[in-house]
Amino acid sequence: MGEAALLLALGLLLSAAGPRAAAPGNARRAPGVECIVFNDQYLTCVWGSKATLTANFSLYYWYSPRQDSPLAVVECQRYLQEKGLNVGCWFDHTEIIQFRNFYIYVNASHEGAELVISTNKGMKLQDLVKPAPPVNLTIQNISNNQLRLTWDSTYHKPSCLEYTVRYKSNKDTSWTEQLVSAKIFSFPSVDYEKYYTFYVKSKINQYCGTTHLWSEWSLPVSWGNNATDKGRTEEQAPWFWIHVVLPTASLMLFLVLVILLIRMERVWVILMPRIPNPSKNFDELFSTHKGNFLEWAGVSKDIMESFKPNYSESFCYVSELPPKEGHDKPRAPPGLSVAPDSRSGPGLSPSKNSYVGE
């Protein structure tokens, strides 16, 4: 059955089905319909908005029938509405059939005229697939100057996808885009002084469909010097962790331990005061002054000489006048000898008697 015959049959069916259809001569064509299959999960066909529509449209759809199969025209079961007006239709994945022509017919009655929105030819839904954005972007440093970017996709046929990688450094003025066929991208010339940002998008390749619908860009992932973006990967270059993070963390830990040790020492001294050791104060007495206390104490030599004992004493001689005549000679005290009278012996002095202590 040709396309013209299908549209004619549909028009006759709708004319007989309800009062909204008007005379064919009064039919007017409205803006077209845009249909997109999102990640093979659901289909939406949108034809307007509250600002452009003046009537409530209805959508009817059917697939090209197989041999010996009747034509099945079905009205939309889930309308997308905006302020009470139908602006589109939502289809579940069970209602999506690829590699068969998909036809829609959208019409409405307004002021005695029929407004028609329809396509001129059948659509192929495999050419209207828009994949979901790539996820889980990860950067790995595989050599001194080479990065490897990998990602995942939620599309159920990853072999049907191709990708575009978009990147730029903080010193570049424009973005660079590169088409890749697998979920991996190698960046050979990395500059450690730069900060790079990467995005990835995908679309159905030529082996699974003919489409120009690209997915949205993924969340960004960043790598490089002073990377602070929230979407950057946690897998940074090993040199960054070894030469920056590890020494900094070690230094901070050392400082914290020193501070805690000092504070604990002060607390211990306050709680348990130490008994002073006086031996250190007398080191100089024994090492320098050889145990000479007076010299260590700083006593002068004159004072030291005055304390030395002096045992040199002279003899003391005692004499008496001789007794007068007529008196008895005095007796010598015990222990003393009386010298002979000077008058009785020659060569002796006649003036006095002498006593000499033994």
Tell me: do 43 and 116 sit in the same domain: yes
- The three-state secondary structure class of 188 is coil
Q: Let me know if residue 189 belongs to a domain.
A: yes
Residue reference for tokens 């901070």 = 252
- Final residue before a domain boundary, out of 263, 278, 303: 303
- Note the pLDDT of residue 297: 66
Q: Which domain holds residue 206?
A: 131-236
Does residue 87 belong to any structural domain of this protein?
yes
Residue 314 lies in a domain: no
Residue bearing the bigger pLDDT, 14 or 261: 261
Q: Are residues 179 and 250 in the same domain?
A: no
Give the tens place of pLDDT for each residue, 104-139: 998 887 776 778 776 557 888 999 999 999 999 999
Name the band, by pLDDT with cuts 50, 70 and 90, for residue 324.
Answer: low
Average pLDDT for the chain: 75
Q: What is the CATH number of the domain that holds 52?
A: 2.60.40.10
- Same structural domain for residues 109 and 8? yes
Domain end point (choices 111, 127, 143) = 127
Pair 77, 9 in one domain: yes
Task: Identify the DSSP state of 174.
Answer: S
230 and 264 share a domain? Answer: no
Task: Give the model confidence (pLDDT) of 233-273 as tens digits.
Answer: 444 456 566 767 788 888 888 888 888 877 776 666 666 66
What is the distance between the alpha carbons of residues 213 and 145, in angstroms, rounded to a whole number? 35
Q: How far is CA 184 from CA 8, 208, 219, in A?
A: 51, 20, 16
Q: For residue 99, what pLDDT band results from cuts at 50, 70 and 90?
A: confident
Q: Domain for residue 335, yes or no? A: no
* 50 in the same domain as 37: yes
Predicted TM-score (pTM) of the model is: 0.55
- pLDDT tens-digit profile of 20-42? 333 333 334 445 789 999 999 99
Q: What is the pLDDT of residues 274-287, one digit of tens each?
A: 666 665 666 666 66
Count of the separate structural domains present in the chain: 3
User: Would you state the pLDDT for residue 13?
Assistant: 46
**CA dihedral for 61, 65, 71, 72, sign (positive or negative):** negative
Specify if 309 maps to a domain: no
Cβ-contact 131, 215 below 8 angstroms: yes
Note whether 200 and 251 are same-domain residues.
no
> Bridge partners of 341?
none
Q: Based on the domain organization, do 8 and 122 belong to the same domain?
A: yes
138 and 183 part of one domain: yes
